[in-house]
Homo-oligomer: A and B are copies of this chain.
Amino acid sequence: MSIAGNVGLADLPRICPLISRRVQTSVGSDETRVVTVGEVQFGGGHPVVIAGPCAVESEEQTLAVARAVKAAGAEMLRGGAFKPRTSPHDFQGLGVEGLRILSKARRETGLPVVTEVMDPRLVETVAEHADMLQIGSRNMQNYPLLVEAGKSGKPVLLKRGMAASLCEWLGAAEYIAKEGNLEIVLCERGIKAFPAGEYSRNVLDLGVVPAVKKETFLPIIVDPSHATGVASMVEGASCGAIEFGSDGLLIEVACDEPGAIRPKCDAAQAINPRTLENIVRFIESRGASRMWRKAHVV
């Protein structure tokens, strides 16, 4: 009774030879290959904090959040111009206009920008405005999109699918690598599992972080916002991810001073800039210990 399609970690050298640590031995056996976006380095030892609004909803809101996250210590800006939504009747993002707003926010703050692309026909357009392309969970196995992202030569942030095994996730990364693009950063964002939905949006699977480090040299970061879906859990999840060895964080932030605009999209998981600052401080305080542990964990 053999089972079609059943693969395990032992199959990784065959599934993804270009990014499997067991095949590609030029990167040291416990090293991470550094991915550079502007002056930001993923996998270089210092965890990278990417923060910003869920969606780009207006220029005013985006610039306000961008300034706030920069002030709080974030090194990159996130924000969705094209938003994949469960319902086609919900706000789908500002599209190209959103990309222009992000470009403006980068010019003003100096923060490199990562934003999602969902359509292979728009990879080029998004790549003109973004410093890094995000492939979202829903599109982890959208292979034509992965191929175009690979061809673009831009750094790619590849989120894990909602129920993806590690094999499937690394197989998806291999589609990008096959186009000659190794500038790939993985992003864990919670998986669907019973009892997801009872008290959190998804189940944050931090165990995948050391597993990724064991199997590939690609950097991996964690999105505590989608993993929990609950703003009050984001700080704990962020610090927990850092302790588990994450190379960075992708966090949704909304301004909350009097008069600030509330987000239309996923407001319940957005933290405020002060909480972001706590997370940044935690990372700084943990710097030395992490280095030490890194040398021993894998």
Contacts and interface: CB of A to CB of B under 8 A. Distances in A.
B6 A197 contact: yes
Protomer copies: 4
Contact of A16 (B87, B205, B229, B240): B87
A5 B195 CA distance: 15
Contact of A118 (B6, B15, B144, B227): B144
A269 B167 CA distance: 20
Interface in A1-36: 1-9, 14-17
A284 to B, nearest CB: 12
A116 to B, nearest CB: 11
Contact of A199 (B3, B89, B191, B228): B3
Interface residues of A, number: 93
A112 interface: no
Nearest to A137: B141
B232 A243 contact: no
List 3 A-B pairs, minimum CB-CB distance, nearest first.
A193-B193, A240-B240, A163-B163
Interface of A: 1-9, 14-17, 84, 86-89, 118-121, 138-145, 161-168, 171, 174-175, 178, 191-201, 203-211, 214-215, 225-230, 232-233, 235-237, 239-245, 266-269, 278, 282, 285, 289, 293, 297-298
